[in-house]
């Protein structure tokens, strides 16, 4: 076969893989309407493209909440400032205890839903990050949330869990 005849055959596996990654949908969380009515973070779907501190600790979707160091209101403001300054996040709604943002991936521009829920009594910020489309996120949601946690620690408003 000539090289020009091989190109479509070589592109087929890549196209199938890409189609598999972006088909399906984890869906938006149920608490997408009014932030005032949010009482907890939704659990993740069975697909691996989501992490949440609302999951059971042994679940593969589980991620530790942010442990606040000091004043919860100071930590909450620091989180909002951090997200507002980061060009990959758009804060969609926020109040004194709940924040919803949309994160956009750099290369393929996928939109992921990110949520935070402040629990002043426990000194923690619960987190959830979920892809809107696809089955696998190649670990992007977990790495995004861990990066936010580290930036909060670096800002002296959070501690290692």
Condensed to tens digits (0 to 9), the pLDDT of residues 36-46 reads 778 899 999 99
**Would residue 32 count as lying in a domain?**
no
Around Cβ 56, how many Cβ atoms within 10 Å? 8
pTM to 2 decimal places: 0.78
Q: Is residue 46 part of a domain?
A: yes
Per-residue pLDDT band for 22 (boundaries 50, 70, 90) equals very low
User: CA-to-CA distance for 118 and 128, rounded, in angstroms?
Assistant: 12
CATH number for the domain spanning 88: value is 3.30.310.80
Q: Is residue 34 part of a domain?
A: no
Distance separating alpha carbons of residues 107 and 95, to the nearest angstrom: 31
**Is 81 a member of any domain?**
yes
Does a structural domain hold residue 35? no
Answer whether residue 31 is part of any domain: no
Q: Report the C-alpha gap between 26 and 129 in whole angstroms.
A: 11
105 within some domain: yes
Total structural domains in the chain?
1
- Indicate whether 29 pLDDT > 60: no
C-beta of residue 44 within 8 angstroms of C-beta of residue 103? no
The pLDDT score that the predictor gives to residue 134 is 81
Residue 18 lies in a domain: yes
**Structural domain harbouring 152:** 3-26+40-159
């Amino acid at each position: 076969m000539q090289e020009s005849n091989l190109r479509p055959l070589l592109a087929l596996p890549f196209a199938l893989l890409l189609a598999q990654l972006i088909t399906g949908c984890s869906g938006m969380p149920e608490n997408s309407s009014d932030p005032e009515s949010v009482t907890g973070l939704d659990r993740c779907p069975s697909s691996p493209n989501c992490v949440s501190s609302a999951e059971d600790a042994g679940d593969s979707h589980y991620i530790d909440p942010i442990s606040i160091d000091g004043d919860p209101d100071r930590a909450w403001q620091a989180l909002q400032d951090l997200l507002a300054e980061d060009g990959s996040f758009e804060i969609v709604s926020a109040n004194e205890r709940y924040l919803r943002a949309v994160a956009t991936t750099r290369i393929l521009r996928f939109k992921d839903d990110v949520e935070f829920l402040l629990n002043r009594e426990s000194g923690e910020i619960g987190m959830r990050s979920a892809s809107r489309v696809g089955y696998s996120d190649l670990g992007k949601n977990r790495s995004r949330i861990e990066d936010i946690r580290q930036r909060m620690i670096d800002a002296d408003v959070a501690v290692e869990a």
